[in-house]
Amino acid sequence: MQSNSENEYLKQIYHHMKDGIILMKENREIIMINPAGQNLTGWHKGGFVPYCSYCTEQAGTHHKPSCYLIANKDVLGLLSKMPTYRGDKIDVEMSVAAIYVNKETSQTEYMLVLRDHETHKQVREAAISKKMIRALIEAKEEEHKRLAQELHDGVGQSLFSVSLALQAIESFVQQNDKLIDYIDEVREELQKVMNDVKSYAYQLRPQSLDQLGLEPTIRYLIDLLQRKVPNLEIQMNTQGLGRCDPAVEINLYRIIQEALHNITKYAQATLVVIDLIKDNTHIYMTIKDNGIGFDRNSIQSEGLGLKHIEERVDQLGGTCKIISNLARGTTIEIVIPRWRPKND
């Protein structure tokens, strides 16, 4: 015999299930129906469950419909259209099970479970879409990593060899001042190209991220930015920030990179504070500036790259909260798991 607590627990499950649960007699009279079933079909207690399109079509015009699932107990479920009391038909996945035999009437009572197939399909499609986006982002990062390596090891080394060759040529033409001046100009231009290649490789994929980890890479990014924008002070505080999932590291780096780009371009801030804390399960990151702030609902805010930040956080299974007030700055609060699920 079930205890009161068990009965209350089952009652809560019955009322909060997302699938429609209908208890009906053999004549299809509804004995009980949960809220999800009522919302889905418009049916009510005391009414009758209509036959689905499959059963109606099987019966044709000369026979009375019968329930295919009840007649074929080995069939676990059926996808069909079910008429509602609203006059329309909905695509549902349904299953039927005999759960009780009434001793007084000798009639079997059945439980009919309905799932909105369209909603279920949309949920599946959204999950597939999310996985595809994640795969594209990871493929893009892998390509960036490959290109950065090519630029560093291939183009960068070739340019360095050209620089050495110029030095060798210079040693043979010491008496020709015009030629020396020309070689110096070429060397300066070559140095600019080498610096550009190094910068492009770093922007594509900083090697320090794979070799040293997230914190040194972010600090180097901050140093580079502060040289370009000396009137912007950037403070970074960390706690327990060791190595974590490579996908987490590169996405966090991209988020900070995007946030700092937005701040320097739009915020007119003089101070940015980045807090990064990692415990055994999660990473907590806050990026706060003292800039002019913005209205998230305005058209201008759509170009700030905030959607890209939110998409990356979503792909990592985390949460992102963006708070901004005009003339009071912007705060981005992010919480993500430090590791992706093993079955991801």
Asked if residue 182 is part of any domain, the answer here is no
- CATH number reported for the structural domain that contains residue 104 in this entry: 3.30.450.20
DSSP string computed for 21-41: EEEE-TT-BEEEE-HHHHHHH
**CB-based contacts of 130: which residues, under 8 Å, 6+ apart?**
314, 315
Tokens of 182: 């020309």
What share of the chain in percent tops pLDDT 90? 26
Calculate mean pLDDT across residues 243-262.
89
Asked if residue 230 is part of any domain, the answer here is yes
Asked if residue 125 is part of any domain, the answer here is no
pLDDT category, 343, cuts 50, 70, 90?
very low
Tokens of 249: 């590291």
Asked if residue 78 is part of any domain, the answer here is yes
Of the residues 71, 97, 117, which one is the last residue of a structural domain?
117
DSSP state, residue 284: E
Pairing relation of β-strands 233-239 and 271-278? parallel
Distance (Å, whole) CA 262 – CA 266: 6
Tokens of 216: 């040194």
What pLDDT, on a 0 to 100 scale, did the predictor assign at position 288?
96
- Give 112-134 pLDDT, tens digit per residue: 999 887 776 666 777 777 777 77
CB 47, CB 64: distance < 8 Å: no
Calculate mean pLDDT across residues 235-253.
89
What pLDDT, on a 0 to 100 scale, did the predictor assign at position 299?
45
Specify the length of the chain in residues. 344
CB atoms within 10 A of CB 114: 23
Tokens of 162: 């050209």
Q: Which residue has the tokens 């699938």?
A: 19
- Give 167-208 pLDDT, tens digit per residue: 777 776 776 777 777 777 777 877 777 777 777 766 677 878
- Give 314-341 pLDDT, tens digit per residue: 888 899 999 998 888 999 999 999 876 5
pLDDT at 312 over 90: no
Asked if residue 44 is part of any domain, the answer here is yes
What share of the chain in percent tops pLDDT 70? 85
Asked if residue 178 is part of any domain, the answer here is no
Nearest to 332, CA basis, from 275, 283, 249, 277: 275
Asked if residue 155 is part of any domain, the answer here is no
Residue 20 phi, psi (nearest 5): -75, 130
- CATH number reported for the structural domain that contains residue 217 in this entry: 3.30.565.10
Sign of CA dihedral 57, 62, 68, 72: negative
Calculate mean pLDDT across residues 209-226.
89
Distance (Å, whole) CA 316 – CA 338: 9
Compare 88 and 297 and report the one with higher pLDDT.
Answer: 88
Compare 145 and 266 and report the one with higher pLDDT.
Answer: 266
Residue 302 phi, psi (nearest 5): -65, -20
DSSP string computed for 29-88: BEEEE-HHHHHHH---TTSBPPPPHHHHHHHTTTS----HHHH-TT---EEEEEE-TTS-
Quick one: how far is CA 1 from the chain centroid? Answer: 46
Nearest to 283, CA basis, from 328, 326, 313: 313
The residues that bridge with 274 in the sheet, in sequence order, are 236, 287
CB 194, CB 164: distance < 8 Å: no
Asked if residue 139 is part of any domain, the answer here is no
**Residue 104 and residue 227 share a domain:** no
Of the residues 117, 135, 169, which one is the last residue of a structural domain?
117
**Residue 217 and residue 344 share a domain:** yes
**Residue 219 and residue 113 share a domain:** no
DSSP state, residue 267: I
How many structural domains does the chain have? 2
Compare 134 and 310 and report the one with higher pLDDT.
Answer: 310
What pLDDT, on a 0 to 100 scale, did the predictor assign at position 3?
62
| Domain region containing 48 | 4-117
What pLDDT, on a 0 to 100 scale, did the predictor assign at position 304?
54
Of the residues 85, 117, 149, which one is the last residue of a structural domain?
117
CA dihedral 39, 45, 48, 51 (to 10 degrees): 30
pLDDT at 274 over 90: yes
